[in-house]
């Protein structure tokens, strides 16, 4: 029988382990993680059942189901993630499906255990008698977190007596309290107690105060190791703040102002946020605050050094408050203090720490074990994306970038942000709204609300930089305002506005009068909030919304000399044409961003294409996530629109808050600058002529029969390679079949015409069109309908999976009756427009090792609605084989390094965020493998951390072209292997999409891939990822 006790703390127990009375083994440490699942309404608990998935330090996973009759089934599972394991083929998973649908299950309780143990043995013969175990346990249920420390003695055969003696000795040495043997019941009691305490504190009116202490443009934070946080103390009001100051500085003197209150969240009581200035220090009190400029801090908010939830919530309030201009003002810098304030020199030198020293990551030993999945090992994905968009903005700020390109980068910054808000920010807000504000260990340990707070704090300064850059460039753009126009220009434009613009404008009364429903403003559509009266100077104000059609251009030409006027400025000046006889009091531009998610039940939808079409219509009325106002919009009008939007969402709880409202430092929506950037008169990058990789005298097929051809777009011609490949196949009488995947094909193209011609010629043409390609759904639906009308067999995706693979197959029947195949495997979309702007790689081959696998995979894609499971020899296919094979390749390099042989991993990716792959890379680094990665965007791996990842180097390249290629390279002891394909190392690519990665056998092609990786890893203008998640430009 196992004996268990609750104990005061793990440190005391571990000391007791060192003094055990019998000969004992050395201390051993391990860890594991238990995740208990149930439905949101507790269906399993109601039935007397439980479901647990355990993740061990060694990477093993076991699924256990306790059944209503008291029996249980436990089995190790091969599936890597929880969703796959719960829906897998193991005996517990099969039995679970007899109880309920596993898709209804959500995470209920998480139990993270750090275990230390020793085995007591008999003297001389060393027979094990019992194991003494100390468990440090962290419990999570939603936002509630509890901790436990447990001591247990596990008797071995013949060791009952020894176990009893050890138990009595421990009870005498350490204050212990007997505990039950059901870990789940103990977890529930601990979590309930913590939750009850939090509710009790709220009912008692308990609060905390957070101090934003400011001196000479610097903010004071407390430092604990490499982490920073604002001073937070129990209490409420000015008295609590002064008590906190006395504790910190030895004096309670200072100027205090209340900035706002952060509501209760989880087990955190309401938090009052105060600013403190004109502080005084008692000479005998040691300095306890470290002082940093906001400019230094803002880019690190949410990073491992600055991620305390209370601090992030308080900084969100401070960043939006006019009382803290250091955060909310456009330029960060020193502010003038009162004459009697302490001079900057009086701040102790050691308190004015730069963030450079804190960027050197130091982790405790237990956090260096990759199997632990410790939050300290990971960066936050959303903030990593924000860093990527900041690098885009940096290109726009760079005076060496041509003017047209600078405008494109400003536009890309805006459109990137739009899509991110619609997807990731919307998803985070939904998690908070439904009470799932839970931190993920492999996402930097930030809860969704903390991520939203950090995002809001960091975004403001980026937007300020964007508008400063736009104002710098504006004089060269010939953008004029209505007030600057001559009378004859106004007359001509007014006529054009009446004939060409106003027919595409929708005025909508902002009223709740009968017959006038609330005006729904479309997603990302520019609109004017208009205040008007019926008579000059008399009568009440009425309000209306004037919505501009997205079909209208963003700017209107004024004159042949190139002057342009913003469309909203032109409409605003001519609103009297819409409201004759009324008096226009004011009109201010705004824009809404709505949730971009499509709510589809793929398993039960009868007509998938039609269901997506209907969802696209509903997308225009999805919940509002962000409001942008142009500068100068009165606060009263801002408040009016926010109230009306909350009324629009009366049937659901609105997630709109003050943090979702942005007042632009100028015009709304700089995404429209792409129109001006397209002007031929603006300086741009020099033109270049792409290379032709195929000879013009011979067919592509003939050349592929002799050798493989690797292309690198846009340096190599897309029309001269892939388009030619398809056109020649469509026109070749020996071609029997053409098969193709399309993810983002763009508009009408040569490829579509070729496929249409092939179908008319009687060839078997099959196309997999992915309808769920986000924000390209409507365009892809048009492709699917058009291809079907032309007699082409169209597959519109698989259930619960996106087909992201880039594949093409041509099947020929030769004169002697043999079947001959040619294939293309690539990283980029078959889109002639993006082929000019994205760097991608593609492999053309007739190698039967590749073409046979491609053919087998197409048979699966067109012959089944579920995940493909072909028996392939060489292609790596997600979600079935790619992840397992990738981990095996990394492990092979790890074993090479452990054996003392050279080992090297290189990869070029769009993003890296899969925790299982990152754990494998950490193990490789610890074993001595050199890991060099080119990751354009999101990267949650922390490189350069001593003891964890110091042999991993990550660079990011942004510039003229969007880096889109995926290339993997493994040293393999000199027998090098190269792969190309469509998959990034993210959970969605490895687990929820159909992706294809192919080996490259051709020596010439491999040398090309080696050259690409070598050049990009040594690009002098690349950005280097630091351990704290920030990026440094290698050369300016």
Q: Is the pLDDT of residue 947 over 70?
A: yes
Token pair for 773:
């390609």
> Once rounded to an integer, what is the mean pLDDT over residues 926-941?
97
DSSP state of 791: T
Q: β-strand 271-277 against 208-215: which pairing, if any?
A: parallel
By C-alpha distance, which of 933, 935, 940, 950 is closest to 890? 933
Higher pLDDT, 794 or 226: 794
Q: By the 8 A CB rule, do 276 and 342 touch? A: no
Give 206's DSSP letter. Answer: -
Higher pLDDT, 206 or 189: 189
Task: Tell me the mean pLDDT in the region 678-690.
Answer: 90
DSSP string, 479-536: EE-GGGS-HHHHHHHHHHIIIIIGGGEEEEE---STT----PPPTT-EEEEEEEESBT
Q: How many angstroms separate the CA atoms of 1005 and 1001, rounded? A: 8
Contact yes or no for 14/116 (Cβ under 8 A): yes
CB 145 within 8 A of CB 267: yes
3-state secondary structure of 1002: coil
d(CA 202, CA 870): 58
Run of H or E including 245: helix 237-249
Sign of the CA dihedral 335, 337, 339, 343? negative
Phi then psi dihedrals of residue 348, to 5 deg: -55, 135
3-state secondary structure 364-433: CHHHHCHHHCCHHHECCHHHHHHHHHHHHHHHHHCCCCCHHHHHHHHHHHHHHHHHHHHHHHHHHHHHHH
Q: Look at residues 768, 765, 833 and name the one whose alpha carbon lies nearest to residue 807.
A: 768
Alpha helices in 629-771 (DSSP H): 635-648, 673-677, 700-704, 724-731, 750-760
Residue 429 has pLDDT above 60, yes or no: yes
- 123 burial (CB, 10 Å; 0-12 / 13-18 / 19+) is exposed
Residue among 853, 888, 883 nearest 871 (CA) = 853
The string of pLDDT tens digits covering residues 65-122 is 999 998 999 999 987 678 888 988 899 999 999 999 888 898 899 898 888 888 888 8
Q: C-alpha dihedral over 998, 1004, 1006, 1009, to 10 degrees?
A: -100
| Local structure of residue 66 (DSSP, 8 states) | E
Mean pLDDT of 915-930: 96
Find the helix or strand (DSSP H, E) in which 160 lies: helix 160-173
Distance CA 740, CA 755 (A): 10
The length of the chain is: 1036
Number of alpha carbons in the 13 Å side-chain half-sphere of residue 520: 13
The pLDDT, as a whole number, for residue 124 is 75
With contact defined as beta carbons under 8 Å apart, do 865 and 603 qualify? no
Task: Name the residue among 445, 375, 388 with its Cα closest to residue 420.
Answer: 388
The mean pLDDT of 985-998, rounded to a whole number, is: 95
Nearest residue to 782 via CA among 795, 792, 769, 791: 769
Residue 238 has what pLDDT?
A: 92
Q: How far apart are CA 78 and CA 884, in angstroms?
A: 10
Structure tokens at 314: 């308080």
Cβ neighbour number for residue 834 with a 10 Å cutoff: 19
CA angle 181, 186, 192 (to 5 degrees): 165
Distance between CA atoms of residues 610 and 279, nearest Å:
65
% of the chain exceeding 70 in pLDDT: 92
Q: What is the pLDDT of residue 266?
A: 63
Q: What is the pLDDT of residue 610?
A: 82
70 three-class SS: coil
Tokens of residue 74, six digits: 């436990």
pTM comes to 0.85
Mean of the per-residue pLDDT values of the chain = 88
pLDDT value at 62 more than 70: yes
Considering 124-128, 506-510, 879-883, the range whose residues carry the highest mean pLDDT is 879-883
Cβ neighbours for 201, distance < 8 A, ≥ 6 positions apart: 269
The β-bridge partners of 999 are 979
Task: Characterize 418-444 residue by residue with b for buried, 16 or more Cβ atoms within 10 angstroms of its Cβ, and e for exposed.
Answer: bebbbbbbbebbbbbeeeebbbbbbbb
Q: Hey, what are 538's tokens? A: 């008399």
Q: Name the residue among 926, 928, 930, 949 with its Cα closest to residue 939.
A: 949
1003 token code pair: 């020596």
Token readout for 562 is 């190139």
- What is d(CA 928, CA 835) in angstroms, rounded to the nearest whole number? 38
- CA-CA distance, 740 to 768, in Å (whole number)? 6
Q: Are strands 1023-1025 and 1031-1033 parallel, antiparallel or unpaired?
A: antiparallel
Residue 473 · residue 509 · CB < 8 Å: no
Q: How confident is the model at residue 514 (pLDDT cuts 50, 70, 90)?
A: low
Q: Does residue 824 have an active-site annotation?
A: no
Q: What is the pLDDT of residues 456-473, one digit of tens each?
A: 999 999 999 999 999 999
> What are the C-alpha distances in Å from 274 to residues 211, 219, 457?
5, 12, 17
Tell me the C-alpha distance between 659 and 627, whole Å.
10
Residues 429-458 have a mean pLDDT of 86
Q: What is the pLDDT of residues 327-367, one digit of tens each?
A: 654 333 333 343 334 444 444 444 555 666 666 667 888 78
pLDDT of residue 336: 38
Element (H, E) at 140: strand 128-141
Nearest 10 degrees: CA dihedral of 876, 877, 883, 888?
A: -20
What does the DSSP assignment read for 934-988? Answer: EE-S-B-B-TT-TTTTTTEEEEE--SSSEE---EEEE-GGGS-EEEEES--BSHH
In the DSSP assignment, the letter for residue 783 is H
Closest listed residue to residue 957, CA positions, set 929, 978, 936, 979: 936
Phi, psi of 630 (to 5 degrees): -75, 160
CA distance 772 to 609: 10
Q: Is 374 exposed, middle or buried (0-12, 13-18, 19+ CB in 10 A)?
A: buried
Q: Per-residue confidence at 935, pLDDT binned at 50, 70, 90?
A: very high
pLDDT digits (tens, 9 = 90+) for 620-658: 778 899 999 999 999 999 998 988 887 665 555 678 888
Is there a contact between 316 and 659 (Cβ–Cβ < 8 Å)? Answer: yes
Share of the chain above pLDDT 90, in %: 58
Give the closest residue to 736 by CA, choosing from 822, 823, 819, 811. 811
Q: How far apart are CA 327 and CA 348, in angstroms?
A: 23
- The one catalytic residue among 712, 713, 804, 824: 804
d(CA 87, CA 78): 12
For the chain, domains (ranges, CATH) are 3-200 (2.40.320.10), 205-358 (3.90.79.10), 375-475 (1.20.58.310), 477-656 (3.30.1840.10), 700-863 (3.30.870.10), 876-1033 (3.30.870.10)
Q: How confident is the model at residue 701 (pLDDT cuts 50, 70, 90)?
A: very high
């Amino acid at each position: 029988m196992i004996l268990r006790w609750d104990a005061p703390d793990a440190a005391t127990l571990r000391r007791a382990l060192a003094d055990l009375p019998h000969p004992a083994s050395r201390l051993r440490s391990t860890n594991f993680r238990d995740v208990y699942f149930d439905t949101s309404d507790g269906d399993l608990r109601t039935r007397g059942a439980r479901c647990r998935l355990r993740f061990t330090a060694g990477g093993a996973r076991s699924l256990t189901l306790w059944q209503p009759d008291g029996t249980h089934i436990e089995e190790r599972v091969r599936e890597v993630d929880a969703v796959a394991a719960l829906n897998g083929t193991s005996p517990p998973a099969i039995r679970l499906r007899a109880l309920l649908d596993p898709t209804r299950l959500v995470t209920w309780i998480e139990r993270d255990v750090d275990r230390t143990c020793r085995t007591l043995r008999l003297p001389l013969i060393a027979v094990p008698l019992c194991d003494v175990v100390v468990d440090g346990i962290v419990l999570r249920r939603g936002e509630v977190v509890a901790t436990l420390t447990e001591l247990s003695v596990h008797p071995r055969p013949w060791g009952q007596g020894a176990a009893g003696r050890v138990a009595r000795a421990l009870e005498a040495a350490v204050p212990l309290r007997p505990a039950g043997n059901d870990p789940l019941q103990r977890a529930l009691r601990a979590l309930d107690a913590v939750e009850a305490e939090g509710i009790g504190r709220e009912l008692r009116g308990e609060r905390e105060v957070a101090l934003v202490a400011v001196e000479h443009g610097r903010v004071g934070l407390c430092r604990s190791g490499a982490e920073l946080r604002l001073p937070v103390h129990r209490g409420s009001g000015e008295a609590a703040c002064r008590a906190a100051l006395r504790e910190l500085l030895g004096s309670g003197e200072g100027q205090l102002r209340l900035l706002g209150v952060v509501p209760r969240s989880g087990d955190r009581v309401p938090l009052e946020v105060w600013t403190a200035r004109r502080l005084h220090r008692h000479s005998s009190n040691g300095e306890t605050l470290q002082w940093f400029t906001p400019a230094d801090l803002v880019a690190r908010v949410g990073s491992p050094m600055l991620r305390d939830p209370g601090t992030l919530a308080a900084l969100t309030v401070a960043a939006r408050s006019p009382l803290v201009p250091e955060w909310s003002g456009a330029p960060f810098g020193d502010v003038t203090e009162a004459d009697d304030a302490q001079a900057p020199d009086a701040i102790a030198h050691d308190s004015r720490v730069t963030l450079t020293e804190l960027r050197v990551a130091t982790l405790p030993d237990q956090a260096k074990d990759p199997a632990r999945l410790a939050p300290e090992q990971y960066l936050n994905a959303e903030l990593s994306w924000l860093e990527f968009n900041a690098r885009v903005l940096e290109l726009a700020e760079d005076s060496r970038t041509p003017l047209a390109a600078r405008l494109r980068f400003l536009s890309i910054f805006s459109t990137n942000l739009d899509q991110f808000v619609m997807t990731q920010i919307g998803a985070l807000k939904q998690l908070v709204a439904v009470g799932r504000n839970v931190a993920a260990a492999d996402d930097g340990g930030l809860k969704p609300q903390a991520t939203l707070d950090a995002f809001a704090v960091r975004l403001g300064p980026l937007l300020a930089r964007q508008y400063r850059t736009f104002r710098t460039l504006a004089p060269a753009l010939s953008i004029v305002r209505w007030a600057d126009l001559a009378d004859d220009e106004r007359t001509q434009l007014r006529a054009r506005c009446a004939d060409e613009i106003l027919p595409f404008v929708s005025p909508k009364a902002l009223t709740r009068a009968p017959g006038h429903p609330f005006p729904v403003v479309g997603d990302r559509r520019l609109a004017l909030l208009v205040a008007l009266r019926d008579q000059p100077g008399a009568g009440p104000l009425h309000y209306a919304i004037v919505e501009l059609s997205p079909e209208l251009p963003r700017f209107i030409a004024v004159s042949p000399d190139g002057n342009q006027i913003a469309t909203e400025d032109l409409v605003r000046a001519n609103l009297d044409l819409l409201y004759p006889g009324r008096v226009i009091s004011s009109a201010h531009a705004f824009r809404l961003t709505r949730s971009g998610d499509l709510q589809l039940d793929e398993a039960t939808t009868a007509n998938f294409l039609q269901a997506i079409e209907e969802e696209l219509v509903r997308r225009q009325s999805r919940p509002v996530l962000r409001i942008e106002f142009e500068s100068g919009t009165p606060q009263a009008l801002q408040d009016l629109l926010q109230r009306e939007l909350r009324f629009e969402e009366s049937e659901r709880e609105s997630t709109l808050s003050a943090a979702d409202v942005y007042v632009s430092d100028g015009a709304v929506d700089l995404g429209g600058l792409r129109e001006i950037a397209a002007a031929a008169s603006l300086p741009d990058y020099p033109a270049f002529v792409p290379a032709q990789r195929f000879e013009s005298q011979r067919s592509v097929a003939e050349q592929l029969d002799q050798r493989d051809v690797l292309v690198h777009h846009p340096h190599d011609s897309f029309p001269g390679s892939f388009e030619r490949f398809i056109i020649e196949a469509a026109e070749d009488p020996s071609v029997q079949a053409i098969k193709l995947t399309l993810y983002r094909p763009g508009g009408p193209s040569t490829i579509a015409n070729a496929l249409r011609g092939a179908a008319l010629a009687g060839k078997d043409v099959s196309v997999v069109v992915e309808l769920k390609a986000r924000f390209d759904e409507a365009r892809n639906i048009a492709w699917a309908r058009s291809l079907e009308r032309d007699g082409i067999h169209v597959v519109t995706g698989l259930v619960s999976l996106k087909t992201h693979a880039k594949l093409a197959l041509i099947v020929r029947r030769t004169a002697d009756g043999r079947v001959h195949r040619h294939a293309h495997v690539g990283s980029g979309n078959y889109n002639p427009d993006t082929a000019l702007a994205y760097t991608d790689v593609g492999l053309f081959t007739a190698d039967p090792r590749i073409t046979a696998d491609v053919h087998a995979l197409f048979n699966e894609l067109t012959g089944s609605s579920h995940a493909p499971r072909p028996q392939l020899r060489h292609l790596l296919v997600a979600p079935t084989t790619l992840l397992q094979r990738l981990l095996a390749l990394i492990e092979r390099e790890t074993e090479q390094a452990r054996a003392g042989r050279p080992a090297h991993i290189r990869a070029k990716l769009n993003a890296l965020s899969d925790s299982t792959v990152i754990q494998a890379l950490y193990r490789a680094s610890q074993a001595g493998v050199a890991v060099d990665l080119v990751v354009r965007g999101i990267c949650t791996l922390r490189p350069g951390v001593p003891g964890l990842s110091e042999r991993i180097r990550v660079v990011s390249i942004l510039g003229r072209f969007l880096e889109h290629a995926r290339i993997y390279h493994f040293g393999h002891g000199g027998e090098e292997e190269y792969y190309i394909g469509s998959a990034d190392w993210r959970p969605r690519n490895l687990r929820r999409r159909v992706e294809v990665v192919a080996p490259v056998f051709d020596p010439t092609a491999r040398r090309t891939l080696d050259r690409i990786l070598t050049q990009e890893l040594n690009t002098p203008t690349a950005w280097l990822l630091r351990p704290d998640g920030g990026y440094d430009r290698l050369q300016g």
